[in-house]
Structure 1
Amino acid sequence: MNFEDEDLSYSTLTDRLAPDETHVFRNCDLTEADLRRAPLADARFESCVLDQADFRRADLDSAVFSGGGGMRIRFNDAELIDVAFTDVDLSSAQFGGALVTDVTFTGCRMIGASLTGARGTGFKVTRSNLTMANLGGCSLRGEFIEGVRFDDADLSGCDFTEATFSDCRLRGSKLLKTVFVKADLRGADLGEPDDAKLRAYAGATINQAQAAAILAARGITVL
């Protein structure tokens, strides 16, 4: 079923969506739409307004979101396997309890988003803004992470083992029990890490300029 240029805001849509069809939403307003438990496998959402849309417990396997988005979208306890988000505003989105496996976030605005409590094998994130996001306990083990801002993000308990950071920022991020063993941080702006953050970076690789900046902040001059 195709929906195009429709105002579906505040609508309850689950009963309108047949489980054996592929659904396409194009340029639709889905503000506060009720899509709980909706059969949305392989669905496409193109340039849709999704402010506070409710996808809790929805089946979104292999769905594609491109453009659009909105504040406080709820994906709690949804099934998100092989889902692609490209250039989507996911500010303050909630993914707690969702099955997140092989999900990709590319060019997304994820300020204040929460992925803590998500299940599954994880996700990939590229050229996205995760400022003040909560990724507590997430695994990005072995990932190539490019162009991502983690400023003031809560990365407590995250596993970045063997991950490579390129053109990333970690200024002000919370790193309680975060693991960076064998991670390559040479392409990350570490800001001014305190002693607790330096302990989190144990086992990681940094460059000479980063090391000199860390020592200089402690009154040590490197010649």
Structure 2
Amino acid sequence: MEFDGEDLSHKALTDRLPQGETHVFRDCDLTETDFWGASLAGARFESCVLEETDFRKADLDGATFSGGGGMRIRFSDADLIDVSFANVDLSSAQFGGALLTDVSFTGCRMIGAALTASRGTGFTVASSNLTMANLGGCSLRGERIESVRFDDADLSGCDFTEATFSDCRLIGARLLLTKFAKADLRGADLGQPDDDRLRAFAGAIINQTQANAILAARGITVL
């Protein structure tokens, strides 16, 4: 079933969607639309307004989101297996309790998004802004993380073991019990981490310029 350019805002659609069909929403206004518990496997959302859209407990396996988006989208306790988000505004989106397996975020604005307490094998992220996001306990173990901003994000308990960072920023990120063993941080801007944050980088790989900057901030000059 296709919806093209429709105003579906503030509507409850869960019981109005035909079962067994792939649903396409194109250029629709889905502001505060209620998809709670809906079957949306394989659905496509193209350039839709998703302001405070409610996807809680929905089945979104295999769905694709491209363009559009909005503040405070709710994905809590939803199933998101093999879901793709490309160039979507996910600012302050809520993923708590969601099943995230083979989910990809590319070119997304995820300022203040909350992915803590999500389940599943995890997700990949690239060319995205996760400033002030909460990723507490998430695993990006062994992933290549490219062009991502984690400024002031809460990365407590995250597992970045053997991950590779390229053109990334970790300035001001909270790193309590974060794992960076064998992570390659040579492509990350670490800012000027204090001693507590430096301990989180134990076992990581950094370059000479980063090491010099860290020592210089402590009054040590390397010749």
Please, what TM-score do these two structures have when normalized by structure 1?
A: 1.00
Match runs of 1:68-83 below 5 Å = 68-83=68-83
Q: Which residue of 1 aligns with 2:152?
A: 152
Structure 1 position 34 matched with structure 2 position 34? yes
Structure 1 position 21 matched with structure 2 position 37? no
Q: Between Structure 1 and Structure 2, how many residues are aligned?
A: 223
Partner SS for 2:165: strand
Q: Which residue of 1 aligns with 2:169?
A: 169
Partner SS for 2:122: strand
Partner SS for 2:209: helix
Q: Which residue of 2 aligns with 1:105?
A: 105
Q: Is the 8 A contact 1:100 1:121 kept in 2?
A: yes
Match runs of 1:108-147 below 5 Å = 108-147=108-147
Please, what TM-score do these two structures have when normalized by structure 2?
A: 1.00
Q: Is the 8 A contact 1:18 1:39 kept in 2?
A: no
Take 1:22 and 1:136, find their aligned partners in 2: how far apart are those partners?
A: 34
Q: Which residue of 2 aligns with 1:10?
A: 10
Shift of 1:148: 0.1
Please give the root-mean-square deviation of Cα atoms over the aligned residues, in Å. Answer: 0.3
- Taking only the aligned residue pairs, the percentage that are identical comes to 78
The 4+ residue runs of structure 1 with deviation greater than 4 A are none
Take 1:49 and 1:186, find their aligned partners in 2: how far apart are those partners?
A: 38
Deviation string for 1:152-203 (max 9, x for gaps)? Answer: 0000000000000000000000000000000000000000101011100000
Match runs of 1:56-71 below 5 Å = 56-71=56-71
Deviation string for 1:188-221 (max 9, x for gaps)? Answer: 0000101011100000000000000000000000
Partner SS for 2:120: strand
Partner SS for 2:28: coil
Q: Which residue of 2 aligns with 1:48?
A: 48
AA in 2 matched with 1:206: I
Q: Is the 8 A contact 1:19 1:40 kept in 2?
A: no
Deviation string for 1:95-115 (max 9, x for gaps)? Answer: 000000000000000000000
Q: Which residue of 1 aligns with 2:178?
A: 178
Shift of 1:61: 0.1
Unaligned segments of structure 2, at least 5 residues: none
Partner SS for 1:188: strand
Q: Is the 8 A contact 1:32 1:50 kept in 2?
A: yes
Deviation string for 1:112-132 (max 9, x for gaps)? Answer: 000000000000000000000
